[in-house]
Structure 1
Amino acid sequence: MKEITAKEVQQTMEQGGKLNLIDVREVDEVEAGHIPGIIHIPLGLLEFRLPELNKRESYIMVCRSGGRSARATQLLESNGFNVTNMIGGMLAWEGKVQ
């Protein structure tokens, strides 16, 4: 499983890099604060929403601490997606939050 740190994601965004971030936390968690520009797909709905995603794109999975996003990363990898887990999740995030 590919991994990226929250700091690496933040630096890429600050340098103008385009990232596809999928936040797999629940609605109330996302409403409490999320990285600007995320795609919100709760983990329990991810397998049903796979058709919305593009296999030619790469995705970075985000959750609270990195556990749910690791499961989401495995699910997407097993379905042929290019995906990376953001280790540490939102607990490690020091960038802007909406």
Structure 2
Amino acid sequence: MTNIDIIDRAAMVLSAGLMLLGIVGMGIVEILAGQPYSPVPMTDEAGEVVATPLISPQIRTGVVLAGVAVLGVYAAYKIVVPVPEDGRSGHETVAD
């Protein structure tokens, strides 16, 4: 059985929150804002910009990548910090 401490919970909440905000939250805001759904500015035949997305794709990508970076830092933390020894681990018992 694994023990989840405060750092584990913080990493899970922060990374999941950032990724959900960047993917789902900002996606819903874009849908509610109306057309266009394109991640790039839309132009007409003359090349004039007629519509742009409400939230820049670079911002959305940055928020999602920040969530992934939190998971990377958490993984590095778990590699560096040793697992505390339990009184039951490493103890051999003789079976009857």
TM-score, reference length from structure 1: 0.21
Relative CO higher for 1 or 2, CA cutoff 8 Å, sep ≥ 6? 1
TM-score, reference length from structure 2: 0.21
Query: Could you say which structure has the higher helix fraction?
Result: 2
Please say which structure displays the higher CA radius of gyration: 2
Query: Could you say which structure has the higher strand fraction?
Result: 1
